[in-house]
Structure 1
Amino acid sequence: MIVDTHAHLYYGNLLEQIDGVIERAKSAGISKIIAPAVDVKSAKKILELSEKYDLVYGAVGFHPCDLKKLEMTDIKLIEKFASNNKVVAIGEIGLDYYWDSSEKEKQKRFFIEQIRLAKSLNLPVIIHTRDSLEDAIEIIRAENDGKLSGQFHCFSGNVKQVEEICEFGNFYFSFCGNITFKKYSGIAVIEKVPADKLLSETDSPFLSPEPYRGKVNEPSRVVHSIEFIAAVKGLNQNEMKKIMFENALKLFF
């Protein structure tokens, strides 16, 4: 049993072949897929997909790179979407200074308010960071009152930051297919993350693992990342799958 905790199923290159994507996921042993929104349009599509496919669940939120035309009052839309019983998290939310460093304060305000919404709804958060992890950690530290839990998706931090995040308690880490690339330099980071804080994800359609690098990624390929992490952790693949599955159930279900 496997959970792909992060797959953007609504993007065209997946959506146009969605039946096949779902069938291949099932064949690979995937029993649940979480599709995180980035905006209102994707949130609506996720709810449609979750209604059609039993194994598809949603997360709803505003991605930090999709805030330009939004006002804080738009967060009410996320609250409305989150009332659907197949929504299991608020996300994908966070900070991104790589693609957009012009509105850092607006990103922070939206991040904080969506975190507070998640706490009020008793939902975990799915966090996106790029060139911004230090600020994200500081915000989580300030907002963490014992009611906050979540996932640092596509984690790219260092060993010290793993230690800081682990101090928060109920936060998990996931890694994408790029960990299988020859030049990946974060082995020590994977080693540092406790096994009971690891989740599996693809970030489909992005970051397809070897031997599919450069191609459209999809949930079925999560097994390659799991196999890699298992080897780093000195576990067999089935043990790693079981641990990650149980971790996903604890956080999201």
Structure 2
Amino acid sequence: MVPVFVPVLLVTADAHGAWTLSPPQSDCRSSEISRPSHSHAPIDSLLAAINFGTLDHVLKATNQIKALHYKGAALNVVYALWRENKAEFPNLRWDVATLPLVRVEFANILLQAWKNGAFSLAEGDRTEMHAFLRAVVANTDRDLFLLGNAISTLALLDDPHDVQLILEVLAKHRSSMLFRQAALALLTMCTDEAQQALKKLPTYATNQSDKDFLQRLHDDRARLRGFWCPK
């Protein structure tokens, strides 16, 4: 596979407010990593955030890993978390690590690294991620933050069959946030189907601000697609 530079796509944790799970049980915490801390390396911060049970901190930690531009051993750890390697992390709160939003983040990190040529993902891994992401997109009704991030991650696989699913979601959920995430997702997909779908997006806009956003994307389309879909 020819490496393609994919600009880092970060998740904004405060887009959905402070989302905190119930406090963990005392025997679920690691004795060495018990709470998020900016003094930890990014991967330690991620493990700490998972054990602490606060999704805002998990998202901040995954953003830190993305900001590393996919170098170092962090990717191997994220892959082990995606594979649910409980033997390697026996003290981890797997009830948090296996939440759909957290697994979407793992997939996002790994797929962006794969597209950048920084990490090798077997076809079986990509197929598994694809099935998982499609299921999240197809079956998520109320959590639009999860839905938007799943769409953004699904787009990294460049499967033309996913375009119709994205349009169906937009028709079902009249959300400005979701509209903008879907527009960016379609723009990053290097398929003719995605580019044709972009022409239909004005009909899904929820307000004039969405239409203005779409126009700005259109005006900057050539430059943006140069990042994601170089010839």
Query: TM over 0.5: same fold?
Result: no
Q: Which has the higher helix share?
A: 2
Q: Which has the higher strand share?
A: 1
The structure that has the greater radius of gyration is 2
